[in-house]
A and B are shown apart, each in its own frame.
Chain A
Amino acid sequence: MRSERGHAMLELAVSAAVMISFLAGTFQFGYTFHVYNQLVTAVGNGGRYAAMRTYRAATPQDVEKGKAAIRNMVVYGDARPAPDAAPVVPNLKPEQVDVQWVMDGTGSPSGVAVSISNYTVDAVFKAFPFHGRPGVEFPYVGRYSPSENEP
């Protein structure tokens, strides 16, 4: 009887350890994929917005303001978010969004690359860092205005 009880305890311990590790792995990957999917949607929205936005380049500050608007579109889904706006992806900050203009030979923008940098998904049991992924590159189809200021 005592040995049978010992067997049952051992079986329970082994099977519980296996089950918990399987479930933890499932949660880890499931949650990370969910967040990655949200990031893909967010950079896609930012890329579409950047591609059609007027590129105002009177001063380097104007270009930077434009980039800030694109970052806000990625993070908050809004180029001019309210002060209390919540990010569309947990803990994503504008400084974790990389915006790079691709210029053609004449110095006009021909494309825009938007990607996530230094963002970590905290899946409780393990953290997954993302740097440069997900990223998109859209062709620039907006209006190029080299002498205009950002409002």
Chain B
Amino acid sequence: MARSAAAVLSIGMLHSNQRRRRGFILVAMSVSMLLLMAVMGLAFDLGRIYIARNEAQVFTDAAAMAAAANLDGTPVGVGRAREAVARVPIRWNLGTREFTGVVVEFSKDGTQWTTEPDGGVTLVRVTAPANSVEITFLRAVGGPATFTVPAHSVAASNPVRLTE
């Protein structure tokens, strides 16, 4: 049976409406998924970044104090300070990962820092530079693959105290 022109026209419009609606749902889904990823990233990834930053700060504080407690103005004391930093048991990434690449520097006056002092130092600076948090959700909305949260602390000896 032949279709009337009006019927053909109305079927054509229906198809085009459906196609338009399908296109709209695709765009809406994509946008809402991106927004969802961004919200999850803010909660999950930023949460982990803040925790890592805090853990790193606590570690460098403890390590700087441990190092400063061993400084006695001699190269032997400097060696003991380095060993004390290596023994600090605090971990990061929710307490699961050891700190790596920790830098221990010494100074007499707080302006010139060196890793190999010749003695007479009273200040120690501990830096934890390599704490890279893997980004899970923010990567989907253009964020980086990893985010590094370095921390450093300075402690003085005799009496031992944190100065920075």
A and B from one complex: yes
Contacts of B47 in A (CB 8 A): 29-30, 33-34, 37
User: Which residue of A has the minimal Cβ distance to B33?
Assistant: A22
Q: Which of A107-151 contact B (CB under 8 A)?
A: 133-139, 141
Q: Give the A-binding residues of B (Cβ under 8 A).
A: 32, 36, 39-40, 42-44, 47-48, 50-51, 54-55, 57-58, 61-62, 65-66, 68-69, 84, 88-90, 94-95, 159-162
Interface size on A, residues (CB 8 A): 28
Report Cα–Cα, A36/B153, bound state, in Å. 22
Selected from A22, A29, A134, A141, the residue in CB contact (under 8 A) with B160 is: A141
B69 touching A139 by the CB < 8 A rule?
yes
Q: In the complex, how many residue pairs between chain A and chain B have their CB atoms under 8 Å apart? A: 77
Contacts of B43 in A (CB 8 A): 26-27, 29-30, 33
B94 touching A133 by the CB < 8 A rule?
yes
Name 13 A/B residue pairs within 8 A (Cβ), A-sorted.
A19-B36, A22-B36, A25-B40, A30-B47, A36-B94, A37-B51, A43-B58, A44-B61, A52-B161, A133-B95, A137-B62, A137-B90, A138-B66
For residue B55, give the distance in angstroms from its CB to the closest CB of chain A.
6
B39 touching A47 by the CB < 8 A rule?
no
Chain B contact residues, majority secondary structure: helix
For residue B56, give the distance in angstroms from its CB to the closest CB of chain A.
10
**Also in contact, A33 and B44, with CB within 8 A (given A44-B57, A134-B95, A136-B90):** yes
Contacts of B57 in A (CB 8 A): 44
A26 touching B39 by the CB < 8 A rule?
yes
**Also in contact, A139 and B84, with CB within 8 A (given A22-B36, A33-B48):** yes
User: Which residue of B has the minimal Cβ distance to A38?
Assistant: B54
A136 touching B58 by the CB < 8 A rule?
yes
**Also in contact, A47 and B51, with CB within 8 A (given A26-B43, A134-B95, A139-B84):** no
Selected from A27, A30, A136, the residue in CB contact (under 8 A) with B62 is: A136
B88 touching A137 by the CB < 8 A rule?
yes
Selected from B44, B48, B55, the residue in CB contact (under 8 A) with A134 is: B55
A44 touching B94 by the CB < 8 A rule?
no
For residue B158, give the distance in angstroms from its CB to the closest CB of chain A.
10
B54 touching A141 by the CB < 8 A rule?
no
Contacts of A30 in B (CB 8 A): 42-44, 47
Report Cα–Cα, A28/B40, bound state, in Å. 11
A40 touching B69 by the CB < 8 A rule?
no
Report Cα–Cα, A40/B40, bound state, in Å. 22
Report Cα–Cα, A129/B55, bound state, in Å. 19
A40 touching B162 by the CB < 8 A rule?
no
Chain A 44-71 interface mask (CB, 8 Å, partner B; 1/0):
1001100110000000000000000000
